[in-house]
Amino acid sequence: MRAYQLTTIGSTPALVDLPLPAPGPGEVQVRIAACGLNFADLLMTEGKYQDTPEAPFVMGMELAGTVVAAGPGTSTPVGTRVAVFSGQGGLAEAGNFAEARCTPLPDAMGFDEAAAFQIAYGTSHVALGPRGRLAAGETLVVLGAAGGVGLTAVEIGKRMGARVIACARGADKLEVARKAGADVLIDSETPDLKAALKAAGGADVVYDAIGGEAGEAAFGALKPGGRYLVIGFAGGSQPKLRLNHALVKNLEIHGLYWGGYLKTDPAVLTGSMRTLFGWFAEGGLRPHISARMPLERTAEALEMLRSRRSTGKVVVTME
């Protein structure tokens, strides 16, 4: 099979031919149709992601495809269409994955949509629900609102009844956020982002996938009793939060690492994904995929993420 492999941390990944063994106990073999890219894929190449596999490994954290073989002790029928959160192995024509990581797809969900769905929607749903406790009528500020996870936060925030302020860079990205349901649009490069957010009414909840100065500005715009959700640092640096403000204003700061629940409380993810797939089946969610590229153009696809030229998700297709 062809696969996009990182040989050593810090090296340039390459498309190679690898053998494909039979699936082992508890595993199913999936013919991969699509793989969704994530900012974490870039961090892995530098060894900066908290769950970077030991090299060499095949890149690609989430994928979708069809079960073509089943190992001992499994019950998923051959021919089942599945989404898989594997942490690695998605950028390949096929692979063996733990059956427990596979979720059958709704009939109406295409493989590209499924590959773009789990991490982005799962992160926002768990962050805004159990962690952020976003309530109807509250104001949600989303930083990086046109990005892979940020756009899903806009969608889910609106579904939960919030007033959504979307922050993104440039008119084109803000238009994407508007179409996803954002009520207020603010360019993230405005000279005084904190003042702009306060002028728009401030925030009950901040969803920060960017970090840096934007995160600091949004933190300063939180209302008393507000919640600040640490999602990631796509802007390249961590925000320097003034904890005296957290003290005086009774603010809460929550980190959210979606994949970490697989080890600590997998039922949270199982229940969340069940809800999200139900919303999709009702027509309430539609992944925004700004680019679809074949496997041999994976390097170009990753560069779109690195340069922040994409909106929503970038998906690599094998079929």
Using a pLDDT cut of 90, give the percent of the chain over it. 88
Domain edges within the chain? 2-117+287-317, 121-259
Mean pLDDT rounded to a whole number for the chain: 95
Residue 118 has pLDDT above 80, yes or no: yes
| pLDDT computed for residue 122 by the predictor | 95
Report whether 76 contacts 102 (CB < 8 A): yes
Residue given tokens 């961090």 in the structure block: 43
| pLDDT computed for residue 166 by the predictor | 98
pLDDT digits (tens, 9 = 90+) for 187-219: 999 999 999 999 999 999 999 999 999 999 999
pLDDT category of residue 316 using cuts at 50, 70 and 90: very high
Q: Measured in Å, how far apart are the chain's first and last C-alpha atoms?
A: 13
Residue 308 has pLDDT above 90, yes or no: no
pLDDT digits (tens, 9 = 90+) for 51-90: 899 999 999 999 999 999 999 999 999 999 999 999 999 9
Fold of 121-259: Rossmann fold (3.40.50)
Residue 319 has pLDDT above 80, yes or no: no
Pick 2-117+287-317's CATH classification: 3.40.1350.10, 2.30.30.90, 3.90.180.10, 3.40.50.2300.
3.90.180.10
Nearest to 120 by CA among 88, 171, 85: 85
| pLDDT computed for residue 11 by the predictor | 94
- pTM across the whole model: 0.90
Residue 41 has pLDDT above 80, yes or no: yes
pLDDT category of residue 270 using cuts at 50, 70 and 90: confident
Q: Where are the beta strands (DSSP E) in the chain?
A: 2-6, 14-17, 27-36, 57-58, 62-70, 81-85, 94-98, 102-104, 139-143, 163-168, 184-187, 203-208, 222-230, 252-255, 289-294, 313-317
| pLDDT computed for residue 262 by the predictor | 86
- Dist CA 310 CA 304 (whole Å): 6
pLDDT category of residue 171 using cuts at 50, 70 and 90: very high
Mean pLDDT, residues 264-278 taken together: 90
pLDDT category of residue 266 using cuts at 50, 70 and 90: confident
Torsion sign (Cα): 111, 115, 121, 126 = positive
Mean pLDDT, residues 1-12 taken together: 96
Residue 3 has pLDDT above 90, yes or no: yes
| pLDDT computed for residue 50 by the predictor | 87
